[in-house]
Structure 1
């Protein structure tokens, strides 16, 4: 299943992220792709709000991955920035699959690298600078349900 979203404002992006975060469970993988400045980290920050995890959520560009524990008894968020990684082998060295069952993993710049982490995932390709569009691809029935459950007010 595929679905497109259009965000006119930063608040639209944040509303989408919070709604998406509220639908996520431990074991979920999100792969975010888009140009520099497209809003991947902003989206991750609002997903974190929807999950109820400890912040602040900042880009883990230099540390590669950060774990944000839940404040509400839900799954932790593992936030990964794969920009500086050269291969899926380097991503595999982070041992993220050990956290996958109990955490939500969001991988920025993960296209072509993170797909091996799970047979089910949500792939979001974000483009634009002021008005943003996101093309969402659900890989597996779990994420077909997530995309179907997102309210139309954010589509």
Structure 2
């Protein structure tokens, strides 16, 4: 099988969770049935927050929460669009375990978002969107401007995001 073409990587910084969710909504507005989105990154980097925004743009039933313990959750459309299949592959160790989920049955009719899916689900679609969300390593806490959060709040850390479209579907699509 030949390697599908890849769009250039795009990098951006998202100052806080609301920006991560808003970016998810921007990406979600450009998605259609059959699209596969792979989310990778640090634990707590905002993969589910991103998916929450994406789901809002798709107009699916919520709430969108991490599917870590159920592995996959389906969110039907409330607006006649594609449903969202939200998968957490963190506890899956092989392609056989992914196959047991029967994700490819819904793949053409739904938008499929897989957290922790790199190296496991690329076979589901020749075209896919790969998004890495990374927390700053060694950050001492504080907001994007270096100001510490109040004692009762978690520190706000910017996220570094890398977006790359794989395949013809993503050629020329601007997701920044």
Q: Aligned Cα RMSD in Å?
A: 1.1
What TM-score results when the alignment is normalised by the length of structure 1?
A: 0.92
2:4 is aligned to none
Q: Structure 2 unaligned segments of length 5 or more: list them.
A: 1-6, 137-156
1:8 is aligned to 15
How many pairs align? 149
1:111 is aligned to 118
Larger Rg: 2
Q: Structure 1 unaligned segments of length 5 or more: list them.
A: none
Hey, which of these two has a bigger chunk of helix by percent?
A: 1
Determine which of 37, 49, 56 is the counterpart of 2:44.
37
| 1:137 and 2:161 matched | no
| 1:72 and 2:79 matched | yes
Tell me the distance in 1 between the aligned counterparts of 2:124 and 2:114: 10
| Ranges of 4+ aligned residues in structure 1 off by more than 3 Å | none
Q: What is the deviation of 1:89?
A: 1.3
Tell me the distance in 1 between the aligned counterparts of 2:112 and 2:105: 11
The equivalences for 1:91-110 within 5 A come to 91-110=98-117
Q: What is the deviation of 1:45?
A: 0.7
